[in-house]
Amino acid sequence: MLNFIDEFNESQLTSEIRRLKTNARQSKAQQSAISSYTVVPGGELSIQAAIDAVSALGGGAVLLKAGFHTVTSDINMKAGVALVGESLGSTAIIFAGPFSLKAAGSGAYSAGTISVTRGSDEVIGSGTSWLANLTVGHSIKIRGLPHIIASVDSDTQITLSSLYFGATDSGLDYLAAIFIDKVDIDKLVLVAPVLSAVVLTYADLVNISNCIIASPGMYGIQSTDSARLTFDTVVIDGAGISGFNAVDTDLINATRLLVASSTSHGFIFDNCSQVVLLSCPAENNAGYGYSVTDSNGIAWLVCSSGNNGASGINIAGASSDINIISGLSNDNVANGINITGTAARVSITSGTISRSNGAYGVNIGASVTRTTVTSCQLTNNSSGSINNNGTNTISANNQT
């Protein structure tokens, strides 16, 4: 069982992932049925003009013909728009300067705290000034999930468009914003040599698939204050900082997302929750393969992290409810799996292999609690199989 926070258990998360993928497929079909524009390399119609035109018609698809599309400004996605290449690997967007592909919401507000009650549509604020800062167009992100605001009733009360079924609680942090949603990016090669290739801010229900991001100047994909992101068959190679950087982002589902040869860490998750990674390799990065800080509900399923310049997986801060299942961490300069800070409830199971690393197979820090390491192969590590300085650690049936 994957132990996620409060209202999310394993079956609920699996259902949510299935729903996101279904929505993504339906979104693409609906967009194509509504309207589409085709952009050819060097043609009179620019990518941004086509996105704006499709958005004005209520959403749809912008189809890019094969070839090199050179752009000299940011590409700003709009809600309900898909940007689709002609075929896998044949359509490239070249950012000629300090530009990126962006999906950005607006109107963010997060002052004060909130109280919520399970089964109610009312949200009560403390220290909030909602009348001046929120509108019906806003959504409020509660425990990682955006909820649409139906009405702003006072400075300290709003009504949601649907009932809240999370845990009853008070004193919660929140984020309200006009989220950009239902954005699809498919079958593109993105080259952004100066800045990050893809930048997501206040974004919800974004699907990126069948893409190659080559040598971005900063991050391959950079996400802040976003939710419900899906990635399927994406390669990020040679990032100037890190390949994938998610901050304050929740409900991420990634399948076959490869990050290689970054000049810092491969993947970064900072204050994220409810993340599932399936068959996502982190290879040959200068720092950690995966860096996880102050995050909870992270699951690696059949993922690998190898030949990185530090530890394969580094779990730090107050991270909790972390599951590594049937993973592989090998030939990293430091530890295969390094658990530090006040991390709690880290589970490493089901045949996970941590071998041939420059330090320990698994290193557990002094303030770490309730780590489980069972049925794993921890062999040929320079300093040993397990270095356990934590409390309430369970280690059993491991090959060392």
Does the pLDDT at position 266 exceed 60?
yes
Domain boundary residue, one of 131, 158, 178: 178
- On whether residue 98 sits in a domain, the answer given is yes
Q: Are residues 47 and 186 in the same domain?
A: yes
Q: Are residues 242 and 298 in the same domain?
A: yes
- On whether residue 275 sits in a domain, the answer given is yes
| 128-144 per-position pLDDT tens digit | 999 999 999 999 999 99
Does the pLDDT at position 25 exceed 90?
no
Residue 24 vs residue 319, higher pLDDT: 319
Domain boundary residue, one of 154, 178, 202: 178
- On whether residue 78 sits in a domain, the answer given is yes
Q: Are residues 264 and 301 in the same domain?
A: yes
Residue 157: predicted pLDDT: 98
Does the pLDDT at position 356 exceed 50?
yes
Report how many domains make up the chain: 2
- On whether residue 133 sits in a domain, the answer given is yes
Mean pLDDT to the nearest integer, 211-239: 98
Percent of the chain at pLDDT above 70?
92
Q: Are residues 160 and 220 in the same domain?
A: no
| 55-97 per-position pLDDT tens digit | 999 999 999 999 999 999 999 999 999 999 999 999 999 999 9
Q: Are residues 151 and 98 in the same domain?
A: no
Residue 21: predicted pLDDT: 53
Q: Which structural domain range is residue 137 located in?
A: 107-178
- pLDDT bracket for residue 4 (50, 70, 90): very low
Q: Are residues 21 and 83 in the same domain?
A: yes
Residue 13: predicted pLDDT: 46
Question: Quick one: three-class SS letters along the chain?
Answer: CCCCCCCCCHHHHHHHHHHHHHHHHHHHHHHHHHCEEEECCCCCCCHHHHHHHHHHCCCEEEEECCEEEEECCCEECCCCEEEEECCCCCEEEEECCCCCEEEECEEEECCCEEEECCCEEEEEEECCCHHHHCCCCCEEEECCEEEEEEEEEECCEEEEEEEECCCCEEEECCEEEECEEEEEEECCEEECCCCCCEEEECEEEEEEEEEEEECCCCCCEEEECCEEEEEEEEEEECCCCCCEEEECCEEEEEEEEEEECCCCCCEEEECCEEEEEECCCEECCCCCCEEEECCEEEEEECCEEECCCCCCEEEECCCEEEEEECCEEECCCCCCEEECCCCEEEEEECCCEEECCCCEEEEECCCCECCEEECCECCCCCCEEEEECCECCEEECCEC
Q: Are residues 159 and 232 in the same domain?
A: no
Q: Are residues 155 and 223 in the same domain?
A: no
- pLDDT bracket for residue 35 (50, 70, 90): confident
Does the pLDDT at position 27 exceed 70?
no
Residue 23: predicted pLDDT: 56
CATH number at residue 125: 2.40.30
* pTM of the full structure: 0.91
Residue 41: predicted pLDDT: 96
- pLDDT bracket for residue 1 (50, 70, 90): very low
Mean pLDDT to the nearest integer, 223-245: 98
Residue 201 vs residue 16, higher pLDDT: 201
CATH number at residue 212: 2.160.20.10
Q: Are residues 197 and 169 in the same domain?
A: no
